[in-house]
Amino acid sequence: SAMTGKLLTISKCLDHQLWEYEHPLKQFNKLSLPIIEKLEESKTTLDRLKDMTADEIGHMVRHVKMGKEIKKLVDAFPSLSLAATIQPITRTVLRVKLIITPDFKWDDRIHGNSCEPWWIWVEDAENDHMYHAEYFLLQRKQVQLKEPQDLVFTIPIFEPL
């Protein structure tokens, strides 16, 4: 599990041509280097930027007009809202229902015009065990309608010895 997480991080770095410590908005290639540097200096997370207004962002990077463009990119950054319910089926099997809700605005120039791919993982990092992995495609229309998707699967549980 820990190794899988590290490999995923390396894979994302190569895929997006972006190191883990760099600001995620850098991958859009729509912001100038000085703006990216100001975002990196401020160490402001995407979640914090999501909560800020375009004007607040503009003042933070000392370029008020860019606040609106940065806010648009932050809102288009792919993210999901997850809710899970777990139900025992037997002593050794759990049923997991995952409700996946898109939490971003679709932009054809950024996301294309079909779908956004995701990997869903259920893992136990302490015991280095992966219980479930599934490739999940979120369609453009599902994102635009903020349509929740249900994903149901079972995972084994192990009784202590």
The predicted structure's pLDDT at residue 14: 66
* pLDDT average per 10 residues of sequence, the chain (161 residues): 70 65 79 89 90 92 91 93 95 94 92 89 80 92 94 86 55
pLDDT at 40: 86
Q: For residue 154, what is the enclosing H or E element? A: strand 149-156
Question: What's 151's DSSP letter?
Answer: E
Q: What pTM value is reported for the model?
A: 0.77
pLDDT at position 90, please? 92
**Closest to 61 in 3D by CA, of 105, 25, 104:** 25
| Angle subtended at Cα 133 by Cα 22 and Cα 119, rounded to the nearest 5 degrees | 35
* Residue 15 to residue 73: CA distance in whole angstroms: 19
Tell me the sheet residues that pair with 109.
Answer: none
